[in-house]
Homo-oligomer: A and B are copies of this chain.
Amino acid sequence: MANNVKKTPNINAKGGGKKKEVKKETGLGLSYKKDENFGEWYSEVVVNSEMIEYYDISGCYILRPWTMSVWEIMQAFFDAEIKKMKIKNCYFPLFVSPGVLQREKDHIEGFAPEVAWVTKSGSSDLEIPIAIRPTSETVMYPYYSKWIRGHRDLPLKLNQWCNVVRWEFSNPTPFIRSREFLWQEGHTAFATKEEADVEVLEILELYKRIYEEYLAIPVVKGKKSELEKFAGGLYTTSVEAFIPNTGRGIQGATSHCLGQNFAKMFEINFENEKGERAMAWQNSWAYSTRTIGVMVMVHGDDKGLVLPPKVASVQVIVIPVPYKDADTKAIFDACSTTVNMLTESGFRVEADLRDNYSPGWKYSHWEMKGVPLRIEIGPKDVAKSQVRVVRRDNFAKIDIPTSTLVEEVKDILVNIHQSLFDAAKQKRDECIKVVHTWDEFVEALNQKSLILAPWCDEEDVEKDVKARTKGDMGAAKTLCSPLDQPELPEGTLCFASGKPAKKWTYWGRSY
């Protein structure tokens, strides 16, 4: 990992007081601080960075270009990866008829309260109300039943990129909890449980890579409890992130093995190699625009959004810093040259050459939007054939000769990603509390910790913990049992029930 920022002499020492005057308050800042009013800070950041516009229907949000570019970069990665796995894209209808929606009992129980119903077209009532998909298991599986006849029709591996609607009423929050959101949903069917099990983890690894390699966010891969698993499925795996400011876990993406439950309800049968009837094993898996909300929450600061370089549609913003008596043309030319040079080397670069804003205003503007690197070019820089580079993550400043700029920018962007990840991991890890007793658990919960506790893995015990921790802040629940289990010494007891513990499980409040 390059670390060329630290070795430069002039970090935090930017050419005297003159420029500081330019950087005066311009009314662009945030009125809330992340550590003081997290909820308000979040709403303000997503709006002021031009990611989100609030919409006139509660719980619906406008995803502005600054959001979509992040989404499209993740989408390009994930779509290419699943295509390598021979998963194909399709598009099923937005609408579900009620009979089909209700076929899998546990599943519909999980989703029924949130389903939006179309009952009219124009001024006419529909003969029967039609549901809008909250997820597409019931939309798709009647056709899986039709398409899957013999073992040669398996595996069937489809994915779709689409919108889904869940008419939730509690705490709508941009990206995190919205009535409509964008996602991908993969739906696969296999001849054997073994194949399904393997795919569940392959997809989970891709989700981990989205968080870690693109969003610079550490996540835990784990398995959900029986109470928290997908309605109607066999088991659910997830990647779990954590928001230190609120002390809440957040489900980052889920990869479910549905087992044969849906296959039974939807009659997804096939003739196996021995000529016998067999039932398919199914998975479904999804990640959504929620990922972007987690990114904002984890990396954002009191100056606004902080974009990890890999998902930034503008990785470098070039800003001319003209002085009254300086050669303005030479400065603007140097800006254009810099943009061209970096663009040709594959970076996403823009120059902000607007003449109606001061450099200081532009600094604040692009800081608010979270652009990873700012390049300032003033008369001194032109004279010395150098540029000044300022990191968004730590505001470190370095003067870099034009001749080595491409290499240095490359190193710095890699470094920023790693720094963001390391900082996020350190903050999260500081919140992890290992507890063994109920008292320790309650104390840790009050401290907004991410709690790792030995558990007996019984549904009633989780229900009991929920009941005992109910309150304004929401009850505690299991987040996941990490796939990578710490050692569990024999004789370890469940923190909540006192029964023998079966596994380590993360607990906490959650989004």
Q: Chain A: residues with CB nearer than 8 A to chain B?
A: 53, 55-57, 60-65, 67-69, 72, 88-97, 100, 112-123, 129-130, 132, 142-143, 146-147, 152, 158, 162-163, 165, 167, 179-180, 182, 354, 356
B63/A90 in contact, CB under 8 A: yes
A113/B122 in contact, CB under 8 A: yes
Main secondary structure of the interface of A (DSSP, over half): mixed
State the CA gap A61–B65 with chains docked (Å): 30
Which B residues touch A167, using CB under 8 A?
121-122
Count copies of this chain in the complex: 2
Beyond the given A61-B93, A64-B90, A69-B89, please list 15 additional residue pairs across the A-B interface where CB-CB is below 8 A: A53-B147, A55-B92, A57-B93, A57-B97, A60-B95, A62-B143, A63-B90, A68-B89, A68-B91, A69-B88, A95-B179, A116-B118, A116-B121, A120-B129, A152-B356
State the CA gap A55–B96 with chains docked (Å): 10
Q: How far is the CB of A310 from chain B (nearest CB, A)?
A: 18
Q: How far is the CB of A88 from chain B (nearest CB, A)?
A: 4
State the CA gap A130–B57 with chains docked (Å): 9
Lowest 5 CB-CB distances: which A-B pairs, in order? A121-B167, A65-B88, A60-B93, A63-B91, A117-B120
Which B residues touch A114, using CB under 8 A?
121-122
Which B residues touch A67, using CB under 8 A?
90-91
State the CA gap A202–B117 with chains docked (Å): 40
What are 10 pairs between A and B in contact, CB < 8 Å?
A61-B93, A62-B91, A65-B89, A68-B89, A91-B182, A93-B180, A94-B165, A114-B121, A117-B118, A152-B354
Q: How far is the CB of A218 from chain B (nearest CB, A)?
A: 28
State the CA gap A118–B88 with chains docked (Å): 31
Q: How far is the CB of A241 from chain B (nearest CB, A)?
A: 23
B122/A115 in contact, CB under 8 A: yes
Partner of A68, one of B90, B143, B354: B90
With CB as the reference atom, state the residue of chain B lying closest to A160: B68
Q: How far is the CB of A161 from chain B (nearest CB, A)?
A: 9
Which B residues touch A95, using CB under 8 A?
57, 60, 179-180
Q: How far is the CB of A389 from chain B (nearest CB, A)?
A: 26
